[in-house]
Structures are given as structure tokens and as C-alpha cells.
Amino acid sequence: MEMLQIVRADGEYDSKLEPNLRDEDLRKMYRQMLTVRRFNERMLLLQRQGRIGFFIESTGEEACQIGSAIPLTRSDWVYEGYRDPGMCLARGVPLKALVDQLMANADDPNKGRQMGVHWGYKDWNMVSLSSPVACRLSQAVGTAYAAKIKKDNIVCLTSFGDGATSQGEFHSAMNFAGVFKVPVIFFCENNQYAISLPVRRQTASENIAVKAEAYGFEGVLVDGNDVLAVYKATKAAVDKARSGGGPTLIEAVTYRLGGHSSSDDPTKYRHSDELELWKTRDPIKRFRVYLMKKGLLTEQEDRKVQDEVETELVTTIKESEKVPRPAVSSMFTDVYAEMPWHIREEADELTRERSQQ
């Protein structure tokens, strides 16, 4: 299976394969990718300083997140992974909402109830995560099937890592999607490791994309560090799904430059030479060179964008840290549509006890 690549690691590109994007769209994609990179760096620092409890970084996977989210419309549904803050940003979720979620403060839409990096934003059709690996695949297929029955003109995209393809739920979701031809895109971010298990130990097949053939639909292999290739492949899959053409499995070949999470030490299971090799394929560096070759970015403009992104992050963090924790009473809200008597009694009892302290 041939891998789709438009921009090479050195920034050279195939003009015949370039997608039809406006100059301002390309600049926006670069800024969003840069924001994700700086967000990862800052949040990991906050975790090390004890200012947030837990973090899962996605350094090196920025092209996957931005390139896959942009082709979607606001009415489409996304079952994103915990390594996909960029998908949230690309769909319009404010940066502060991401920081609030990690700080579990009163402005967090989830009221601090979700584990850190388990994004979920109802206003942007970003479905809250569940921690078990691969479970959101069948959820996305179910939503897509419901949309088909209701004749809603929407598609669903679910993102997951290569490790999820070793779970039974991956195969169940793929089989159902193929049989019922539902409008869903399976977006696999193959970052080479399921925590410490390399992808070569997970499957004997040529790649992950080829697995779609067994379920009767198309599999696409794409350079996951090339944001234009990711965009082009996802746009084609979205258009096909929306027009009734059924599902697509996209395998975006990328690399996790950091650890699995803030609790992981990747030096225990991978060699430094491998890491250095993948650094030469950095998605942001190659897209920066591409934009400069196209005359869409200068060194001065790049420094300005980087300064603006940094300032926005620092300002947002300061704002979020000023927000208090969720009120204790919030534990009783949003549990039922209408609060039942026994929950009301517990809430009233807590209120009385706190007033006596």
C-alpha cells in the first residue's frame, strides 16, 4: 500500500497533490500546530511543578490532530482521543477550556469530574472520553448509525492509537461499520507505541490500514507528520461518508516524541537513535519550511506567531489558576434531569453540615 505524502521531511512538496486551501487557512493550520506544541510543553511543566495532576502529551503528533479535524463541519461528531487537544482547538474549543479541564476548576464544563486530558465539550460535539482502550470506536459507529437512520447529514470521526487496534472492540466496530455502511472515519494515529509495546509486536500485517479490506471498505495509509496529506486523506473520507459512501480507515504514521504520559519514562523501552531519527521528520518544522518556500511565512513573521502563541498560553494559564475549585454542591447537579428526593435530601444535609462548621 502506497503512503500518501505531499510535503517531505525537508519541506519540499508535490504541487500536483496539494489540497485546495487558501493561504490564510495554511497559516492558521501552522499557528494551531504551534499552539498544540507549546501547550504540550507548558502543561508538562505544570505537571512537574505540581500545578496540575496528570498530563498526556502529544508532541510530534500535531499534524494528525489539526489535519484530521479541519475537514469536519460544526455539526459533525468527534470521538477524540486523550492525545488530541489539537482536534478540540481546530473545532473552536477555546484554549482556556482545555487548561480549565486539566486544572479541574469551576470553569471546567465537566466540573472537575473527568480525569485530566479526558476532553469533552458538548457545544462543539466533542464527546467526553472513556479511559478503556478502543471503547469509543463502537460509540462513534453507533452515533453514525443513528445519523444514517435519522437521515442526518453528518459524519463521525473517531481517533485512536495503534494499541487500540489490538482490542476486540476495534474489530467489532469496523465490522459493524462495514456491514451497515455508516458515515464514520476511523482515524488511527500510529505513533509506533502502545505505551511501551512497539507496533511490530502488535500485528503481523503489512500495516494497519490494510485491515479495512477484511471489513469491506477502504483503508488509507498517510504520512501522519505531513499535515496536508492528513487533511487531504481525511477530507476525501469525510466527503465520501457524507455522500453515502460508507466508512474509511485512515492510518496516519507518526511518532510520539515524548513519553506515554507524565508517569512514563520512554528511555526504558526505546533507543535514542530512533528518537533522533523521528525528530528529523518533525511535522511543525517541515510545514514551516513548506510555508517559507511558498512565500507564506518569513522568519520575522514566524517569530511573531511564536511570541503570540506563547503570550496567549501564559495569559490563559494565569487566568485559569485564578478560578476556584467547583462548588461542593456541584456534585449533586447534572446527575439527573430532575433531582430526585433522596439526592435532594443528601444535598440539603451537606448544606446544613457545612453551615455549622
Active-site residue list? 256, 260, 269
164, 186, 190: which is closest to 176 by C-alpha?
186
Buried b (16+ CB within 10 A) or exposed e, 268-300: eebeeeebeebeebbbbebbbbbbeeeeebeee
CA dist 280 and 269 (Å) reads 20
For residues 195, 169, 231, 239, the Cα torsion angle rounded to the nearest 10 degrees is: 180
Using DSSP's 3-state secondary structure scheme, residue 206 falls into coil
Only one residue has cell 494528525, namely 64
Query: Is residue 186 within 8 Å of residue 248, measured between CB atoms?
Result: yes
Query: Is residue 284 within 8 Å of residue 37, measured between CB atoms?
Result: yes
